Amino acid sequence: MGGSCKEGKSDEIRRGPWTLEEDNLLIRYISSHGDGRWNSLARSSGLNRTGKSCRLRWLNYLKPDIKRGNLTPQEQLLILELHAKWGNR
């Protein structure tokens, strides 16, 4: 009985998969105000998410310049060369 149950409250931090509506809200907010200051962004945008969650969603999925798909042979070679030089650092 140490924790409190806030289920159903609107001020509860949301966890789990992002909805399309949340993605769009984050994209619109960043388009208008820019990224950074993630905790402030999470509160100001109306998302019930943590700043860390917003940052990770933006950087890993929503940012327009994210490269998706397979690595080119040149990229694979570069990775192997750098790994041979630096190891698992």
CATH at residue 69? 1.10.10.60
Average pLDDT, the chain: 88
pLDDT value of position 18: 96
Assigned domain for 25 exists:
yes
Assigned domain for 39 exists:
yes
Q: Is the pLDDT of residue 8 over 70?
A: no
**What domain range includes position 28?**
20-86
Q: Is the pLDDT of residue 57 over 80?
A: yes
Number of domains in the chain: 1
Determine whether 65 is exposed, middle or buried from the number of CB atoms within 10 Å of its CB (0-12, 13-18, 19+): exposed
Among candidate residues 32, 14, 13, 28, the one with its CA nearest the CA of residue 62:
28
pTM of the model: 0.67
How many Å apart are CA 63 and CA 88, to the nearest integer? Answer: 27
